[in-house]
């Protein structure tokens, strides 16, 4: 089953039957004009390779038919949400402790299709970083570079960012998690641009940080600093 990167979806896995149910959010008729129609069952089955699609309004019926002795959820919040949608589930049959560690363990092993997606994301994100270095011109803004990064990711079919891109130039590169990205890049020979950004596809994320000199070559001072940081990384 591939990752679902849209809000409002839930997944139920019946361990004994080895059957996977995808629970879709219900869109009331009054909201269809604004949000579009409810999801197409056939398309979801083909896209996510699950056994059955169930609208959230049918969740009580599904839970009743499955009649589980124990229901495992990721956390207390999900347990509360389950009781809200399926009040017939006994509260003492909901376990909030076991599922997350098991899922974390399972994530250590990737299927071939997962590895392919990770490679796609890493390649596209790497190309976006290269594009910023190759296409940078004096007078550009951090905003321009952030937009160019997103655009290049999109050219590689990566339409989401794993986190807010950080494009920090000059003294702003010393600010942890700088995300304003709204200043003109200084043109000093010593100026560096730090780009911390990565695309995301089907919930598989990348995280890449690169630093480049605005003049195309490192000044002696910036080169020294860069190499100090590089050596520290190689040692650790």
CATH of domain 112-235: 3.90.230.10
pLDDT-derived band at 168, boundaries 50, 70, 90: very high
Q: How large is the average pLDDT for residues 148-154?
A: 98
pLDDT over 80 (residue 160): yes
pLDDT at residue 3 is higher than 90: no
Average pLDDT over residues 128-146: 98
Model pLDDT, residue 85: 82
What does the pLDDT look like over 218-232, one tens digit per residue? 999 999 988 998 999
> Mean pLDDT over residues 14-25, rounded?
94
Tell me what pLDDT residue 1 has: 61
- What pLDDT score was predicted for residue 6? 82
Looking at 105-179, which runs of residues are DSSP E strands? 160-161, 166-169
Chain-centre distance for alpha carbon 195: 18
- Considering the chain, tell me which residue range(s) the CATH 3.40.350.10 domain(s) occupy: 10-106
Which of 84-88, 128-132, 158-162 has the least mean pLDDT?
Answer: 84-88
Is the pLDDT reported for residue 158 higher than 80?
yes
Please determine, for residue 2, whether its predicted confidence score (pLDDT) is greater than 80.
no
End-to-end CA distance of the chain: 36
CB contact set of 125 (below 8 Å; sequence gap of 6+): 153, 158, 197, 198, 199, 206, 208
Q: Are 195 and 211 in contact (CB under 8 A)?
A: yes
Using DSSP, state whether 2 is helix, strand or coil.
coil
What span, in angstroms and rounded, lies between the C-alpha atoms of 121 and 153?
8
The residues near 64 (Cβ < 8 Å, ≥ 6 apart) are: 86, 88
59 near 29, Cβ under 8 Å? no
The reported pTM is 0.85
Among 201, 140, 199, 135, which Cα is nearest to 169's? 140
Residues of each domain in the chain carrying CATH 3.90.230.10:
112-235
Q: What is the pLDDT of residues 172-203, one digit of tens each?
A: 999 999 999 999 999 999 999 999 999 999 99
Q: Looking at 28-37, 96-105, 110-119, which range is the least confident one?
A: 28-37
* The pLDDT of residue 201: 94
What is the CATH architecture of 10-106?
3-Layer(aba) Sandwich (3.40)
pLDDT of residue 136: 98
- pLDDT per residue as tens digits for the range 36-85: 888 889 999 998 889 999 999 999 999 999 999 999 999 999 999 888 88
The rounded mean pLDDT for the chain is 93
């Amino acid at each position: 089953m591939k990752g679902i990167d849209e809000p409002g979806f839930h997944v139920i896995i019946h361990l004994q039957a080895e059957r996977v149910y995808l629970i879709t959010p219900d869109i009331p008729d009054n909201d269809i004009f604004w949000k579009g129609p409810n999801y197409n069952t056939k398309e979801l089955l083909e896209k996510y390779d699950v056994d059955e699609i169930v609208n959230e309004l049918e969740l009580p019926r599904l839970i009743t038919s499955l009649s589980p002795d124990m229901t495992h959820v990721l956390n207390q919040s999900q347990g509360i949400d389950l009781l809200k949608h399926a009040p017939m589930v006994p509260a003492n049959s909901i376990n909030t402790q076991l599922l997350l560690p098991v899922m974390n363990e399972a994530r250590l092993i990737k299927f071939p299709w997962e590895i392919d997606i990770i490679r796609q994301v890493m390649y596209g994100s790497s190309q976006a970083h290269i594009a910023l270095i190759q296409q940078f011109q004096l007078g550009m803004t951090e905003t321009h570079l952030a937009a160019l990064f997103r655009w290049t990711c999109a050219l590689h079919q990566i339409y989401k960012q794993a986190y807010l891109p950080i494009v920090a130039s000059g003294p702003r590169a010393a600010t942890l998690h700088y995300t304003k990205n709204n200043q003109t890049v200084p043109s000093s020979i010593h100026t560096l641009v730090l780009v911390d950004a990565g695309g995301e596809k089907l919930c598989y994320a990348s995280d890449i940080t690169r630093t480049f000199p605005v003049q195309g070559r490192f000044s002696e001072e910036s080169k020294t600093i860069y190499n100090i940081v590089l050596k520290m990384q190689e040692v650790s």
